[in-house]
A = this chain, B = another copy of it.
């Protein structure tokens, strides 16, 4: 019942970029040093964030990465999902066929879990990066 370490790192990285502000370019090495994530792993995460258009990369000398979205339009949910995929607090909530008893439709626990999950996702989505920066 944890977000992954990688998602934790992604949050740090996005806080870093959000603090600098939209459009400000910073290189991977600087992020890596400040956020305590190895350079290679930082790059891997940055690539995923690029792919989902949260940030963009700038190649060549003096290149780096910059924020594409507004901090108040990105939530913890958004960033966590980039790394960990869609939220699913039990496997039957990701895939109805995952239940080895094929009982999803009639399982009383299933409904309860789905309600909890919906609420959880909602809460993660309430937290925007604009709230997470020291300004």
**Residue A53 is within 8 A (CB to CB) of chain B in the complex:** no
**Residue A72 is within 8 A (CB to CB) of chain B in the complex:** no
Pair B112/A3 contact, Cβ less than 8 Å: no
CB-CB under 8 A from A113, the residues of chain B are 76
Other-chain contact of A131, B5, B88, B108, B123 (Cβ < 8 Å): B108
Other-chain contact of A35, B101, B108, B115, B131 (Cβ < 8 Å): B101
Interface secondary structure of A, over-half rule: helix
Q: How many identical subunits does the complex contain?
A: 2
CB-CB under 8 A from A36, the residues of chain B are 100-101
**Residue A109 is within 8 A (CB to CB) of chain B in the complex:** yes
Pair A132/B116 contact, Cβ less than 8 Å: no
27 contacts between A and B (CB under 8 A): A1-B2, A1-B3, A1-B80, A1-B84, A1-B87, A2-B91, A3-B89, A3-B90, A8-B90, A8-B92, A15-B108, A15-B109, A35-B101, A36-B100, A76-B109, A76-B112, A108-B131, A108-B134, A112-B132, A115-B123, A116-B124, A116-B127, A119-B119, A119-B120, A119-B123, A120-B120, A120-B123
Q: A15-B109, A76-B112 are in contact. List 6 more A-B contacts (CB 8 A).
A: A8-B91, A15-B108, A36-B100, A76-B113, A112-B127, A119-B119
